[in-house]
Amino acid sequence: MFPGAVADREDAAYVTIGAPLDVSTSFRPGARFGPERVRRFARGFEDYRREYDAQFSALSVHDHGDVRAWDDAPEYIDYLRGVVADAAADGAVPLVIGGEHTVTVAAIRALSPDVAVIADAHLDLRASYDGNPYSHATVARHALEVADEAIILGARSGCEAEWERAGADDVTVVPPEAVRDWTPSFEGDAYLSLDIDAADPAVAPGTGTPEPFGLDAADMRDIVRAVAPRAVGFDVVEVNDRDDGEAAVLAAKLLREFVFAHATA
């Protein structure tokens, strides 16, 4: 259980959902261990948060547990979409813990936000990668099948075709050095997805495709604070077991930050 997620499902305002999919990682696998590590490394946090004058355990969070993954990504995404949709139908805000970034597709399809706000080192705008249209490198492309706009924060890597696609009117790319000056100006509601590799690997080395010159922890926190009040859902993804917990502890802190910022907005 995610520490402090003590609410009953029927009373919950937020529902955490573990999604340990790990089938398309192209460099360092291990995202299947992400949900367990995020929960484990959240154990060291104080329940009380002075900035919000609130206790996490009092914010009505329920932990659904993990949705066991298998090796058929499209089938899994469709099933996970139903789990996320059920939580939203019950009046809760879904909080998905990946797993590889592909799980974001399920949540966006379930929630149909106007805008997908994605913190990521990579553009993820490929139509397919290694012949796979459900690769972790296709997430933003899939998001644009549902959302009117994608805002990609911290991107610093992509192929030539992705950068060309990023030049369209429905995509905004904010490079790492500009993220701390970014403020939301979009209309409508948002879905917030945090790929932990948006952070510099010096901050969060435990991820599948680390990319230098990224965001620091405070940048990631400020993204959450800016977007959470307008968000209908949230995920943090791509944490693996290839470090001593740095990526997982940051991911856990960001999930808690989302709940505090959303609940007190």
| Ordered per-residue pLDDT tens for the chain, 265 residues | 999 999 999 999 999 999 999 999 999 999 999 999 999 999 999 999 999 999 999 999 999 999 999 999 999 999 999 999 999 999 999 999 999 999 999 999 999 999 999 999 999 999 999 999 999 999 999 999 999 999 999 999 999 999 999 999 999 999 999 999 999 999 999 999 999 999 999 999 999 999 999 999 999 999 999 999 999 999 999 999 999 999 999 999 999 999 999 999 9
- What is the 8-class DSSP label of residue 136? G
In the CATH hierarchy, which fold is given to the domain comprising 9-112+190-263?
Arginase; Chain A (3.40.800)
Please tell me the number of Cα atoms within 13 Å of 142 on its side-chain side. 23
- What is the 8-class DSSP label of residue 92? P
State the residue for tokens 């429905």.
170
Phi, psi of 142 (to 5 degrees): -65, -40
**Strand stretches in 170-210, DSSP E:** 171-174, 190-195
Domain positions in the chain? 9-112+190-263
State the residue for tokens 């990526």.
247
Cis peptide before 99 (omega within 30 of 0): yes
